Structure 1
Amino acid sequence: MNAKSGIAPNLTLDEFRKVVCSRRSVRRFTEEPVPDHVLDDCLELAMLAPNSSNLQPWEFYVVRTPDLKAKLAEACLGQNAAKTAPVLIAVVARTDTWRKHSRMALEQWPEEKLPGIVEKYYSKIVPIHYNQGPFGLFGAAKKAAGLFVGLTRPVPRGPYSPNEMKIWATKSTALAAENLMLALRAHGYDSCPMEGFDECRVRRLLKLLKKGQVTMILAAGKRSEKGVYNRQYRFDKDDLVHYL
């Protein structure tokens, strides 16, 4: 791909379809380990996911140490996917890295010349847009201003609170998690995203900071013969897709 011109390469739809359609939530894995080079490549592809303002509010905790993995599987309520997977990956959304990452966005700008609009966005707009202030007071003031200005023209509606920041970070992090799962499948491995876990115990095990939100625990490895419990099905598309 020519990054400068933005010209996209020709792709094979059939291969992409095979990756998407063969991805399943695998509940039992073999003991075969996931090679380091596969994990590294999958995580790099995960980090290419689209995300809000390119602030990349995610972290990935790759757990392979047997003792820690066993404790993490217990915190995942003893699910078979967690107990049998050779690797567990905690996908964490961060609400507190936007300041640091906005500076990094300027410092690591990939072009020779930094556009003025980009510098203005990260140095002036981002500190206002994502800052909630002490006790969320600045966020509340922004919400009031947004309600007033929004009477006459479109305006951004949030994030206006610490809780809305969690939603903001989780949306981008979930996109990265999907990239990670599809990358594993493309490499011939499988995964199972788990929401069923004791977050307090997971936090303690991984020594997470308070503002790190555990979006999911991802089990990864080679699927066993009984790794998929049932045939895949989805609800009627006509009920869920609306053309306007």
Structure 2
Amino acid sequence: MITLLHVFPLESEHCRAKGADHPIHSVVRKNNDICVVQCQNYSVTRSLLFQCAVSYATKESTVIYICRQQVPSLPLGVHGMPSSDSRVLNYISFLYLDTVEDVMDFCASVHNREDKVGHPNLIIVDDIGSYIEQLQGPCQDHKVAKLCALLCDAVHYLNSKQGGSCSLLMSCLRPSQRFTSVYWKTGMQVMDIQENPPGEFALSTVQDDSTLEVEFNLRRGVLFLKRFRVHVTVKGKKGV
């Protein structure tokens, strides 16, 4: 859940009011270095990914941002989180990879690259679904699993080389239960975002015995955190 700390101000003074020993804080600090965000709103999904990139870059951590086309303008920001400037953007390298073969080649290249692209602290894949769509033919589930495994293997290799400092964050704009199960099987943390009504969003994800829910909305071109909570299951009972 460390990824969420780089997207929303979950450790702000307001959110700390519940106390450092509250289950919320222990859950959000659990580290899962491979996550996928599923949401049909492209603008919001890209904004969350970019906010994570900016938060990492603010700490002078190197970010690789993979997408198929050049980002036309800076995405929306999240209120209470770091904003981008020229210094921060220097730590974010955009890789415009148009085909799924390009992504696979990138995964292979991390084993022998010595530039900053070969030593990232965070790899972002913007809309993994646009690459999955290129995997045609029989046994598509197997091909999707192979693509996810290559990305995960690249992160695991970088962690072994860098002492465990690389994470992977992906987005998927066309959620599918079929592929969600593939993500789970490859060890990814799946975060589902629902929009209802327009401009109001609810994110939920499950880790171990806990379900984390984050509510946020879009106002005046900025994303605002409304509230977050954790449901913890203990011996068949739920608590917050």
TM-score normalized by the length of structure 2? 0.27
Structure that is richer in strand per residue = 2
Structure that is richer in helix per residue = 1
Report 1 or 2 for greater relative contact order, CA contacts < 8 Å, sequence distance ≥ 6: 1
- State the structure with more CA Rg: 1
